[in-house]
Amino acid sequence: MRQGLRQSMAWLHAWSGLVVGWVLFAVFVTGTASYYKAEISQWMRPELGAVQADPVRSADLAAAFLKGKMPDAAGWYIELPKPEEPLITVHWWKSLEGPFHQALLDPETGAPTKARATKGGDFLYRFHFELSMPPMLGRYIVGACALVMLVALVSGIVTHRRIFADFFTFRRGKASQRNWLDAHNVTGVLALPFHLMIAYTGLVTLAPMYMPWGVQTAYKGDEIRFFVESGMMPEMRAPAGRPGELASVGAMVATATARQGEAPEGIGIYNPGDAQASVVATFEEPHGLAHLHPQIAFDGATGAVLATNGGVRAAATTSAVMVGIHEAHFAGPALRVLFFLCGVLGAATVATGLVLWTVARTPKGAREAGLGLRLVRILNLGTIAGLPVAVAAYFLANRLLPVDLAARAEWEVGAFFAAWLLVALFGAARAEARAWPEAFAAAALLFCAVPLVSAATTGAHPFAAGARFVGFDLAMLALAAGFAFAARKAGRGVLDTARRRAARTPAEEAFQA
């Protein structure tokens, strides 16, 4: 909104970054954690050991459970046990509008699991794109923020005349604003390809929802037809409208396993009580970048194979690769660490940008900070320091809440939001210069406490025989160290200000007062 392209882009960058910054920070933090969703879920259900579950038996147990729950459902979905999640997850729903019900079953007995009730890593994963809001609303908000992030990235790139030189520029210990700018540039530019990729591919993961107009014009809104034609879904039948008996789902899993050479990861049963029920076995993505799950559809009444998906062409493959890169399921341990670090850099870019916005607008001399600036400062602290504290509180609640507490999983989530709110209120009440180091110190202490509390309550510590959570414990300690460092840095800032104030002339000091 100023004259000149670079000036107007700088304006656009600052303001677009600000309005979505807080949501983006939360999306980056929870999304980055989601690269280790399975590990987090495993840690949060320490009772579960490694089980060698039989997929055929698991499928039959799950179908029996679901038949007891809702025989006339519109659909059931069974996630078969995996080494990293040795449970059967079942979902059932009366209508696609929801509500969607879910239960975790023991693969030995088919009864609801005895492991502690928790949402595990799934809570952070869903927060990443639904923000714990009604799912559709959350997805629209996150999508809008991702688009604005792209706008902020493009305008940020235009603003930068020295983008390559800035890559190597970090002027330590000079003016505070210059420092924050350099930190924002380093984190932003270093992982720029990642930032661009993750925002764009994030939009692609929910593209049919955000941009349904192609399906509207070319398919008259028939989304199923589109998915079938593009090879993402096998052809399925409409229900007959009269009751029927479902054949053994286990037998269909056995057939699917024989055809594909591996057991499916999930089985969808559509109109299970109908004479023309369809059963679709979905397999893990084959090796490679694309997020394309092979699927086999069965006649639910006879168990005969009806159709498979496939024949995915160039554009659909491109789209699937974009989703695949976003989720990074293809990545081995080393590459996953790199994705994780890039995610951390993304969160750091957003955080430094938010702080820079306030530093650049701090009034000189004795002028009072305006209401807007004070509000941004409070939201900054509440988000940047508050969310890590909330994550640590979520993990601690998992270990500290009684195992048989009613609505235990909801209490864990309650602990997450309560801790977040507490830090935000603390930040609003306390002077900014004090609040930052203290809130970071709290995050450091809480993350440090996670492995200790875990060892004390479950006996699982890194030195125990057959220790399973060494990686998780180390990650918690690394986070604690990171926040301790941040607390020290933020505290130093306070000291510097104090020293500068002490060096001022008495007249200046009087003016300040």
Partner 1 sequence: MSARPIIGLRYRAAVLGRVLLAALGGYAVAALATGLLSLVLPMPRSEAVVTATLLSFALMVAVVVAVFAVRSLGRAALVVAGLALPLGLGLWLAGAFAGAA
Using CB under 8 A, list all residues that contact partner 1: 1, 3, 5, 8-9, 11-12, 147, 150-151, 154-155, 158, 200, 203-204, 207-208, 210-211, 213-220, 226, 229-231, 313-316, 318-319, 322, 363, 367-368, 370-371
In whole angstroms, give the CA distance from residue 38 to residue 334. Answer: 16
Residue among 9 and 397 whose Cβ is closer to partner 1: 9
**Look-up of token digits 């220790």:** 467
Identify which of residues 13 and 119 has a Cβ nearer to partner 1 in the complex: 13
Q: Are 20 and 222 in contact (CB under 8 A)?
A: no
**Nearest-angstrom CA–CA distance, 399 and 451:** 10
Q: Which is nearer to partner 1, 3 or 52 (CB)?
A: 3
| Residues 182, 188 contacting (CB under 8 angstroms) | no
For partner 1, give the closer residue by CB, 19 or 403.
19
Distance CA(293)–CA(291), nearest Å, equals 6
What is the DSSP secondary structure assignment for residue 74, as one 8-state letter?
S
Q: Please give the order of strands across the beta sheet that includes 75-79.
A: 100-105, 88-93, 75-79, 266-270, 278-282, 295-299, 305-308
- Closest approach of partner 1 to the CB of residue 117, in Å: 39
Least distance from partner 1 to the Cβ atom of residue 432, Å: 17
Q: How far is the CB of 145 from partner 1 (least distance, A)?
A: 12
Q: Can you say how many angstroms the Cα of residue 181 is from the centroid of all Cα atoms in its chain?
A: 27
Query: Of 55 and 353, which has the nearer Cβ to partner 1?
Result: 353
Rounded Cα gap, residues 267 and 158, in angstroms: 48
Q: Half-sphere exposure (CA, 13 Å, Cβ side) for 1?
A: 5
Minimum CB–partner distance for residue 112 and partner 1 (Å): 40
Tell the smallest beta-carbon distance from residue 59 to partner 1 (Å): 31
Cβ of residue 213: shortest distance to partner 1, in angstroms? Answer: 4
Q: State the nearest-atom distance from the C-beta of 83 to partner 1, in Å.
A: 34
Residue 30 vs 205, nearer CB to partner 1? 205
Nearer to partner 1 (CB atom), residue 73 or residue 290: 290
Token pair for 342: 């890039």
Minimum distance from CB of 273 to partner 1 (Å)? 31
Residue (315 or 465) nearer to partner 1, CB: 315
Find, among 345, 440, 431, 437, the residue nearest to 387 by Cα: 440
Helix, strand and coil percent figures for the chain, each rounded to 5:
60, 10, 30
| Residue 279, helix vs strand vs coil | strand
Rounded Cα–Cα distance for residues 271 and 72 (Å): 7
